[in-house]
Amino acid sequence: MAVHATRTAEELEAYCARLRGAGLDAPWSRPGPLIPPKPTATQARLWRWRDIEPLLRESPDFLVPHRGAERRVLRLHNPGVPERTVAHSLVLAIQYLLPGEVAPAHRHSPTAIRFMLHGEGAYTTVDGQKCVMKPGDLVVTPGMAWHDHGNEGDEPVIWMDILDWQIVRFLENLTYEPYPDERQTVGRTPGRDIFHPWSETYPALLRRAEQQHDPFDDVLMEYVNPATGGSVRPTVACYLQLLRPGVRTRAHRETSCAVYRAVKGHGATTVDNETFEWGPGDFFVVPPRAAHAHSNAGSEPAVLFSAQDVPILKALGLYRMEPVA
Ligand code: GTQ
Ligand code: FE2
């Protein structure tokens, strides 16, 4: 409260009641700074594939997806985030489909980005473009694009979904709409704006590893939408990264948030004062402004996939990166 006030506390209370009645608020009538510092809800955390996989394989006993209803997904739940998502800005869900299962066609305002993890025979059709997904393939489903998926193989399939759900939810623009039919009619072959096959991205990463190294990320390549030359979506960027054997990167802080899936090899990521050792299939999160550095103490290259909210921060002029001494 301002020190030069000439009115009593009771008079201030009465004044605030009149403000409320007029649909107004005086933030200075309460103690504390106008813009209080707020620690991020997202906590640094690691999830091990060996803990996730048996629970995923049990999930069909509990949920049989039906028309217009749930996806059989398990979401990574960051203990700090009230909405039970992997981070304050992003959702990471792991989807499990048995042979013959179909997820009916629908669309929604959030973007979904799928990175194929295990099994053969999965497909997702995005606005009539059928993408057959092999492990390591990336499929972008832009917000409001119709999509349906299924498993045409003879073993269960597993992929991960990254959604900008939390950003769209914050902007109060979540929408969902079922398609009139269970599946879309398949038309043209998928464009490079939505489909990035591992058979192209991984060789490109290996070529880059021969040429160019970054002190903070060693070998980092962003998936680019050839139609725009920019990130796969305005909200989310995706990266494929390689850490050469013996590499220890310099630590840096970024204002963005990153969720990682270890694809190949073993390594460790230090986030502020915690070190997370990861191996194939593990997931981890780096919260905004946390100092982070990666290392690969092994003799094989380690490969990481990540999704980061960098583009939305850049669009808002909020992206910063600073090296940590
Ligand atoms: O597979 O279309 O993880 O609509 C969340 C919402 C997946 C999907 C999610 C969805 C989907
Ligand atoms: Fe969906």
What tens digit of pLDDT does each residue of 106-165 get? 999 999 999 999 999 999 999 999 999 999 999 999 999 999 999 999 999 999 999 999
pLDDT of residue 35: 79
3-state helix, strand, coil in the chain (%, to 5): 15, 35, 50
Residues 198-225, mean pLDDT to the nearest whole number: 98
Ligand 1 atom at minimum distance from 108 CA: 4
Q: Whose CA is nearest to atom 6 of ligand 1?
A: 71
**What does the alpha-carbon distance between residue 303 and residue 205 come to, in Å, rounded to a whole number?**
9
Nearest ligand to the C-alpha atom of residue 101:
1
Residue 225: count of CB within 10 angstroms of its CB: 18
> 127 is written with which tokens?
């606005």
> 110: CA distance to ligand 2 center in Å?
8
Q: Which string of b and e fits 239-277 if b means at least 16 CB within 10 Å?
A: bbbbbeeebebebbbbbbbbbbbbbbbbbbbbbeeeebe
Q: pLDDT-derived band of residue 67, with 50, 70 and 90 as boundaries?
A: low
Residues facing residue 295 across a β-bridge: 248, 268
Instruction: Show the DSSP H helices in 178-221 as ranges.
Output: 198-211
> 139: CA distance to ligand 2 center in Å?
12
> 251 is written with which tokens?
């630590």
pLDDT higher for 305 or 60?
305
What are the structural domains of the chain? 45-196 (2.60.120.10), 199-323 (2.60.120.10)
pLDDT of residue 3: 56
**CA 64 to chain CA mean position, Å:** 26
| Model confidence at 4: pLDDT above 70 | no
Answer for the pair 89, 255: CB distance below 8 angstroms, yes or no: no
> 66: CA distance to ligand 2 center in Å?
14
Among 227, 166, 152, 219, residue whose Cα is nearest residue 196 = 227
The mean of the pLDDT values for the chain is 95
- DSSP annotation string for 64-101: ---TTS---EEE---TT-TT-SSSSS-EEEEEEE-TT-
177-91-111 Cα angle (round to 5): 45
**pLDDT for 250-288, tens place per residue?**
999 999 999 999 999 999 999 999 999 999 999 999 999
Residues facing residue 106 across a β-bridge: 147, 178
Answer for the pair 161, 73: CB distance below 8 angstroms, yes or no: yes
> 276: CA distance to ligand 2 center in Å?
31
Residue with tokens 């106008």: 34
Q: Which residues line ligand 1 (CB under 6 A)?
A: 71, 73, 93, 95, 103, 108, 112, 147, 161, 163
> 231 is written with which tokens?
């990130």
Beta strand 267-271 with 219-222 is unpaired
pTM of the model: 0.94
Nearest ligand to the C-alpha atom of residue 161:
1
